[in-house]
Amino acid sequence: MILHTVNKSPFERNALVSCLGHAQAGSSVLMIEDGVYGAIAGSQVADVVNNSLATVKIYALEPDLAARGIAKEKLISGVQLIDYAGFVDLAADNTTVQAWL
Amino acid sequence: MSEGTIKKFLYLNRKAPYGTIYALESLEVVLIGAAFDQDVSLAFVDDGVFQLTKNQNTKGIEMKGFSLVYNALGDYGITKLYVEKESLEERGLTLDDLQDVVYEDENDDYAEKKSILLVSRAEMGQMMETQNVVLSF
Amino acid sequence: MKFSIQINEGPYQHQASDTAYLFTKAALEKGHEIFRVFFYHDGVNNGTRLTVPPQDDRNVIKRWSELSKQYNLDLVLCIAAAQRRGLLDENEAKRQGKDAHNIAEGFRISGLGQLIEAGIKADRLMVFGD
C-alpha cells in the first residue's frame, strides 16, 4: 500500500483533505513539516482526519510537532507519533511513497 | 533490478500553470522520461486540471506557453492522462473546457484516440495504488 | 532497501531540503542505501558554494556536502533547472561563456534522465517539496 506524505498545513492548502479523499483503506498517511498541524484535535479538518482513521493509518512526525510547540495532549487520538527512523521504516514497509505537496 | 525493468510511473499534477513553474518543469521530466520506456501515466488532480484548459494565450504575461506540449505527448508514447471529475466540478469546469488531447494508436491502424481519461475521485485513488513510482512537483 | 530522494526546493526558503537531509541520514544510519539525491526546480540552489549562512544555525549546503563525502552519495543537480537558476559547474560555465562557476563540493550537474533512472533503480522514491 501507499505511504502518503503531507507537508503543508491543512489551513493553507487542500493537500491533506485531498490526500485523505484519495487514500485507500489500509494505506498510511504521514504528516510532516507544516502538515503536522493537521493532527490538532478540534480544528476545522479534525472531523475529516477522524473519519479517515477508521480505514487509514495516520502518523505525524514528532520532531515537527515539537518544533511548532504543539503538545501531544492537543492531538487527535489515534494519530501515531514517529521520528525520522520511524519515517524510514514506514517508507520501507509500504510499497510506494506518494507526496502531496 | 535488471536492465529492461518496466515500472508504472505516475506524474502527479496538482498545481495550476504559470503561477509557479511546477507544471512546466514536470512536463520536461515527462518528455525526457519518455525515452526510458516505462509505463507512464499523468494524473491531473485539484488545481492540476487547470493545466489542460483550452486557449491558453500567454502573450500578455510574457511567458512561453506550453499547453501545446500536452498534445505532443502521444508522439512520445504517453497516452494516459487521468483527469479527475470532482476536481473539475469543484472548479466550475467540464471536459469541454479542456483541450482535446489525442494520440494515434499504432496498434490500431493509427486510429485517433483520446488520451484524457475522465475518472472519479474514487477511481483516481484506486489507480494511484497500482503505481510503482510517483513523482510529485 | 534502496532509496532515491527528489528535492524540489532551495535551502532555507522551505523545509524540504532539511527534511530530506534528516530522512537520508536516518536511512543511512539504519544501513539502507541511497541510490541518488536529485535536486529539481529551486532545489538546485542547494548546490551553490557561495552561501554564507549565519553561524548559529545549520549549514544546509555544507552538511549535504559532508554527508555526501561520508557516505559517497550521488548528489545531482538537474542541468535544465540549474541553467535557469544560475548554477554552473566549470565545464558548463566555459561552454556558456560565463565568468564564474558555483557548484558546491559533492554535487554534480546532470540531466533529467538521472531522475528517471533514480526512480527505476531504487525501491522507493521520496519526494520533498512545497
CATH number, domain containing residue C68: 3.40.1260.10
* Closest chain A residue to the Cα of B87, Cα to Cα: A18
Residue A44 structural domain: 2-100
Kindly tell me the burial class for residue A82, based on how many C-beta atoms sit within 10 Å of its own C-beta (0-12, 13-18, 19 or more).
middle
What is the ipTM, given to two decimal places?
0.98
Catalytic residues of C: 78
Nearest-by-Cβ selection for A24 from B15, B126, B136: B126
Residue C47 structural domain: 2-128
* Stretch (H or E) spanning C2: strand C2-7
Q: Do C129 and A97 touch (CB under 8 A)?
A: no
pLDDT of residue B128: 98
Instruction: Tell me the per-residue pLDDT of B9-62, one tens digit each, with 9 for 90 and over.
Output: 999 999 999 999 999 999 999 999 999 999 999 999 999 999 999 999 999 999
Q: Which residues of A touch B121 (CB under 8 A)?
A: 21-22
Q: Is the pLDDT of residue B1 over 70?
A: no
Number of domains in chain C: 1
Q: Is the pLDDT of residue B81 over 70?
A: yes
Number of domains in chain A: 1
Chain centroid to Cα A37, Å, comes to 9
CA-only gyration radius of chain A, Å? 12
Q: Is the pLDDT of residue B129 over 50?
A: yes
- In this prediction, residues C75-90 reach a mean pLDDT of 97
Q: How far apart are CA C121 and CA C107, in angstroms?
A: 20
The three cell numbers of residue A29 are 498517511
DSSP 8-state assignment for residue B60:
G
Q: Which domains does chain B have, with CATH numbers?
A: 8-136 (3.40.1260.10)
| Angstroms from A98 CA to nearest CA on chain C | 8
Q: How far apart are CA B108 and CA B43, in angstroms?
A: 25
As a whole number, the mean pLDDT across chain C is 97
Q: Is the pLDDT of residue B132 over 50?
A: yes
Q: Do B135 and C120 touch (CB under 8 A)?
A: no
Low-confidence ranges of chain A (pLDDT < 70): none
Q: Is the pLDDT of residue B115 over 60?
A: yes
Q: Do A15 and B14 touch (CB under 8 A)?
A: yes
pLDDT of residue B2: 47
Q: Which residues of B touch A16 (CB under 8 A)?
A: none
pLDDT of residue B3: 62
Residue B111 β-bridge partners:
B105
Q: What is the CATH number of the domain that holds A89?
A: 3.40.1260.10
Q: Which residues of C touch B33 (CB under 8 A)?
A: 112-113, 115-116
Nearest-by-Cβ selection for A97 from C8, C32, C124: C124
Residue A23 amino acid letter: A
Which of B7, B29, B41, B131 to mutate: most C Cβ within 10 Å? B29
pLDDT of residue C65: 98
Is A26 in the B-facing interface, judged by CB distances under 8 Å? no
pTM here? 0.97
As a whole number, the mean pLDDT across chain B is 96
Instruction: Tell me the per-residue pLDDT of C18-67, one tens digit each, with 9 for 90 and over.
Output: 999 999 999 999 999 999 999 999 999 999 999 999 999 999 999 999 99
pLDDT of residue B4: 81
pLDDT of residue A100: 98
The Cα-based distances of A35 to A39, A58, C31, C49, C86 in angstroms read 8, 12, 28, 31, 31
